[in-house]
Structure 1
Amino acid sequence: MSLLDQELEPTNDVFVARCDTPGNMHYVLKALEFKEKPKLFCTVNVSAEGMKFIVESHKNFQGIAYLCRGMFSEWDLQVPQIEFRIGLVDFMESVNCIKAKTATVTLSMKDEKKDVKDRRLYIHVVDRKVKADISLPVYNPNTEFVDFMFHEVEVRAKLMLEAKTIKKIFQEIDPKENPCVTFTFNPDECFITINSDTLKSTARFPKFSAEVLDIFCDGDSLAFDYKSMFIKRFKYATNNSSKISLTMNDNGVLSAQFMLAKVEACAACLEFYASSLFSHFITINEKCSLD
């Protein structure tokens, strides 16, 4: 708790946070609008590190937006953590309802038991003499997310590069025409292949390229196939990032991390998980036999 907080009158708020750049919150969370539902809900976890927003799709894809403590000018959390579900678009539109660079937003939650039906997140937006007070209903997090256990399984391949070098590839993916995207690795380069009934397109990323920051391959040659509808969901994050890291583990799970261009690294980041089309990664020889 800051000195400023200590001067305030005691309240029954268990969480209060102020952000001086609410437009950045909207900018980051926009990347999670991939789920095909008119009412998109996300699970929010509030902890000492900041706020984590999670959206899951088909149990094979998960998007996470981290709004770190660095994004907030004030932060007061009276409990170890708070977890709830909320309408993602409702939250985004509320914090950014006054579209001005000088606007600030304050989030707060009162000390209410989990069995209280009318739990709410209070949002106070101010820009000079203009004010907006919004309260959004929140719900108990009744969804158990798939644990991809990514950090507990050995990493088999990795590609880190400038976002501008891969932006066009993700833009051109059409899930209706291209059912899958293949990432093929060897120690010195990575190939990204988009297949369709009439066309096969391959982009090469050599280790010596100035735009490629790192390539790792635990073997002579490895290939990973993912549904193109999952990779297509990276489009917004790619368009608004400076660097991208694509990492595959021993179970074929893809972890895609994005360093956003318009916010500081300590303020926010994005991460996506996607399951492979196959239960494990496949070598080139195995892939040829499958074809």
Structure 2
Amino acid sequence: MAVIGRMNSLQIVKHTDFGLYLDGGAEGEILLPKRYIPTDIETEVDDWLNVFIYLDSDDKLIATTEKPKVQVGEFASLKVVDINRVGLFLNWGLPKDLLLPHSEEKRPLQVGDYCVVHVFLDKRSKRITATARLDRYLDRAPATYTVGQEVDLLVADATDMGFKAIINGKHWGLIHKNELFKFVRSGMQEKGFIKELRADGKISLSLQPVGQEAASSLSEQILAALREKGGSLPLSDKSSPEAITALFRTSKGNFKKAIGGLYKQGLIVIHDDRIELATK
């Protein structure tokens, strides 16, 4: 059975001059227009093809071998390309733009803006639809993450505390301002790490590894940089976050922990304006 709004593996049932018909199960035969027929593989009756199913401009089911930027059940940042009385239209990589109804807007948008949306199937119309009201699609499953776990993040909204981000397409998390050691904006996809699982169910995130593994890695980077620069670096625990980030791509807090650990081991000396390799 064909699933609307998702990639499907469907069987060819017949050839025509204008395309192939595929077995859509309960949805009936679905046309794959000639322009989308692969030219690098055989396409005989009973062969299987991977296709995306959606409604064309006449609201008829149609197949394409092109893969959109987002499928039903997923989140993505998409560009607004048109607006009319019905809603906003988003570029999702297919000829027919994706509708974001005005009722599903979260904030006013203009043509050219990007918006993080969730894509769902309107059960009554069978239309693939976008919504910017994300809360209803997140945090519905129990969080089973562990501190330090690497996750996929889609950065969403800026807040007074930092940036909200979608974790693995399932949960909300927050990247606090003190973790923002590099430029971040809504719509960016990043690798991140679980920093804290709070008692209230909220999840704190980091854009860099956390825990002992992260500290060891950063310490090794600092020692290597010191050896490369002749034993001295113009950074210390009083340096600006920007100067530290420029050299080590890490937060000031993590840098201070790393050099503090190296100092305790007797490997470096910390001055107000620099750090140096310790002399034996």
With the shorter chain as reference, the TM-score category is under 0.3
Q: Identify which of structures 1 and 2 has the higher relative contact order when contacts are C-alpha pairs closer than 8 Å and 6+ apart.
A: 1
Bigger radius of gyration among the two: 2
More strand by share: 1
TM-score by length of 2: 0.20
